[in-house]
Chain A
Amino acid sequence: MKNLRGPYPAGKKPYGSSRRAASVVLAAGLVALGTACGSSGGASSTSSSPKSITVAVAYPSPPAAELAQFTKETGIKVNWVNIGWDDLQTKIAAAAAANTYFADATDVDWSKVGEYQKTGWFYPLNKYFSMSALKPDMPQLDTFVSNGDLMGVPFDASFITTTVNTKDFAKAGIKTIPTTLPAFTAALKQVGTANHMANPLDIQLATAEGLSTCWYQMTAAFGGQVLTSADSPNFTSPTSPGYQAMSWMVNAYKSGLVPKANINTTDYDGFTTEMAKNRVAAALCDYSGSVGSIYNVASSSSVVNQTQYVSTPGASGVGLAVANPDGIGIPKTAKNVAGAVKFINWFTSTQNQATWAGLKGPKNVVSTFPLPDRLSSFNLLVKAGNINDASQLAAILRAHAQAPFPNGAPPWYVQFSAAVQTNIHEAAAGQETVAQATTAIASTVSQLKASG
C-alpha cells in the first residue's frame, strides 16, 4: 500500500484535505443517505455511454497524445481523474456503500483485494483477462488474486527494496554491500562513524502503512510471511521470521541506528528526505523507483548518482522483496464495463508500459511511474537502454518479488495493519515489549477471523 507517498499514505499522499473532519462527517452522512436509499443507484449501470469512460486513480494522466490515440483506436474518450490515494479509498468505499457511480475503472490497492472480493464491490476480472496467459509476464499478478478471483490488474510494478549511499559506504571502506543483516548492521555502524552520521539507517516506525509494509518486508528478509495460507498468525514464536524481524527493527531503533524522528515520520516524503539530504546512508523498506524519481533529482537531492538499489539483506543471505504494485479494476457501479476492459488492456500492454517508463523518451513518460508491470516491457527498456538499473530491477522483479500474503490480503487487512502499526510503534517507543506486541497483533487476528 502506498499510503506513504505524500502527507498521507498511496498512498498516503499528502493526503488529506484541510477540512477533513468536516468531510468525514459529511461523507458519513452522505453514505448513510445512500445506504438508506437502498439500491437505486445501481440502476445507473444501464444508462452507460459507450463513448466515454472515467478512470479515477491516484496517478497522473498519460500524455494527452497517447490518450487521443486510444480514443482513435477504440472510439472511447477517457476522462482521467487524478485523486490523492487516501481520498480515493474513501471515495471508493463511500460510492460502493451508497451504490453510486463514480468511475468505470479505478485503483485496486493490493491491501484491498480481500475486502473487495468479499464485499463484491468490484467485478472479478477472470472472464476478461487470462490469468494463466498473463502470469508468466506479470510476476506480481498474484498480489491481486483473492480466493481465485482476479480483482485488479497491476498497472505498474513496484516492490520493497533497500537503497544505499555507495559513497558513504565507500568512505567507510566498504565496497561490497553485505548480504546478511548482522553484517549489514555492523557495516552501518562503520558507515555512521566514518561519515559522522549519528543514525545512518532509515526505517519507517511511525503509525502509518509504511511500518506495516516494512515489517512484511523484513519478515520476508528473515525467510517467512506474517500470515499462513489460512490467514493465521505466523509470528508469535520467538524463532519465527515475523518475530525476529520485529525484534530486529525495534532493536535497530533503540540502539540508535535509526533517527529518533522516524517514530513520528508518517509520510513517505519525510522518510525519503533523510536519504535525499544524506542524513542517512541506507534505507530499508524503500520503494523501487526512488533512486530515479527522488534521489537523483538534483533540485531536491544532495545524493545525486550516489545511491543504488541492493537486495534487502536477510538472516543468512539476500532476502526476498515484497511486491507493492498498483492495480486497476472495475467497480460494480461502472457504467461502461466493456470500455473499462479495453482501457485496462491498453494501459497495461507491453508497449505502453514501456512507454510510460521512458521507452519513447521523457515526453511520453507518466510522471511518478515506477516500473512496468510486464517483463516483456522491461526487455524493451533494457534493449533501448533508457531506464536506470533496468536489468537489475528486472532481475529482482523476476526472481525475488513475492506477494505480502500467501492468500492475498485478507478482507480485514486494514484492521490488521492498524494493529501492526500501533503495536510495533509502541514496542519501538518502549511502551510494550516485542512479545506483547506480537501477542496483541495475534489476538487482533483471532478476533477478526472470528468475526468473519
Chain B
Amino acid sequence: MSAPLRGRILPYILVSPLVVFIGVLSFVPTVATTVEAFFRVMPLDPPNRFIGFGNFRALFANSVITTSWINTALYAAIGVVLSVVFGTVIAVALRRRFRFRGVILALVILPWALPAVVEAVIWSWIYNPTFGVMNSALHSAHAIGGYHLWLGLDRWLTIALIEVVQVWQITPLSALIILASLQAIPQELYEAAKVDGAGAVQQFFRISLPLIRSAVAVSIVEALVLSLNVFDQVYILNGIAPLGSSVMLQTYIQTFENLNFGGGYALSLLVTIATALVSLGALALLYRRTEAV
C-alpha cells in the first residue's frame, strides 16, 4: 500500500471503533425505537401489534402529556435565556486576570459538577416552607408577611422555581464556553477601541458580542438540550404531579411505570425530533449571522 493511500485510510481506521461503539449504543436503539413507536408494546396486553400512529394519537389526546409539553417549552425558554445571559455576564466578569480568579472560577463551575439529584435536594431545603432560606431571607427583607409554600400550588411559580435550579446547574457550562471564546479575542482590538473613545459597554456590543456569537450558539444548543430533557429536578421537587411535569418525566412514567413501552418509544422519538429540530434551527440561525458579521 502506498504512503498516500495509507494516509487516507488511516483516519477511517482510527475512528472506526468509535463509530461502531456509537452505532451499537445509539444508532441501532434509535432505529429500533423508531420502528417500535408504531407498535402497541404493552406486556400487560400482549401480543405486540402494529397500530400505525396510534401511540402518537394517544399521546396527544392525553392532557397530562400535552401539559408536560407546554411545561417543557417553558423550561427550555427560561433555561436558554437565563443561562446564556448569566453565562455571558460571568464570562465577561472573569475575562481579565485578577486575584483569586481561579478560586472564583472553581466556585462558578461547582454547580455544574454536582449531580442534578443532589442539587434538587439542596434546593428543596432552600424552598422549604417551614425553615427554608428563601422564606427566611424574604421575610427578613420584609418582602413577605409570612412563610410561603412555594412549590406545588401555582403552576407557573412551580415551573419558574424548578427552572431556577436547572439554570443554576447549566449556567457554568455556558460561562465556560463563552469565556473560552472571549479569551481568544485579541487584546489589541479592545485597546484600539479604547483609543477611539469606546467605553466598556460599546466594547462589549461592538467587539465581544459579535466575536463570541458562535460560542453563544453552542451555549444555546447546550441549554436547549439539557432543558428539553429536564428530569431530576422536576422529579425531586415536584414528584409526579402534572402541575410541573416535563416530557422526559412522562416518558419515564409511560415506559417503566405504566409499562406502555410503545407509548414511551413514541414519546422518546418526539422528544428526540423536537430537540434535534430546535437545536439545528438555533445553530443554523446563529452561525449564519456569525458568518455575516
Contacts and interface: CB of A to CB of B under 8 A. Distances in A.
A425 B244 CA distance: 13
A21 B230 contact: yes
Interface in B91-122: 115-118, 120-121
Interface in B223-272: 229-232, 235-242, 248, 251-253, 255-259, 261, 264-265, 268, 271-272
A264 B238 contact: yes
Contacts of B259: 93, 115, 119, 414
Interface size class of A (residues with CB under 8 A): 35 or more
Contacts of B32: 29, 32-33, 35-36
Interface in A80-133: 89-90, 93-94, 96-97, 115, 118-119, 121
A422 interface: yes
Q: Which of A28, A119, A198, A426 has the most CB of B within 10 A?
A: A28
Contacts of B25: 26
B59 to A, nearest CB: 14
A26 B44 contact: no
A147 B21 CA distance: 45
A121 B43 contact: yes
A31 B43 CA distance: 12
A189 to B, nearest CB: 18
B147 interface: yes
Contact of B41 (A30, A35, A118, A264): A35
A203 interface: no
B29 A29 contact: yes
A421 B240 contact: yes
Q: Which of A22, A24, A115 has the most CB of B within 10 A?
A: A24
B45 A266 contact: no
A207 B36 contact: no
Q: Which of B127, B151, B239 has the most CB of A within 10 A?
A: B239
Contact of A21 (B41, B118, B239, B248): B248
B30 interface: yes
Interface of B: 25-26, 28-30, 32-33, 35-36, 41, 43-45, 48, 115-118, 120-121, 124, 127-130, 132, 147, 149, 151-153, 229-232, 235-242, 248, 251-253, 255-259, 261, 264-265, 268, 271-272
Interface of A: 7-8, 14, 16-22, 24-33, 35-36, 89-90, 93-94, 96-97, 115, 118-119, 121, 198-199, 206-208, 259-261, 263-267, 270, 279, 411-412, 414-415, 418, 421-422, 425-426, 429-431, 451-452
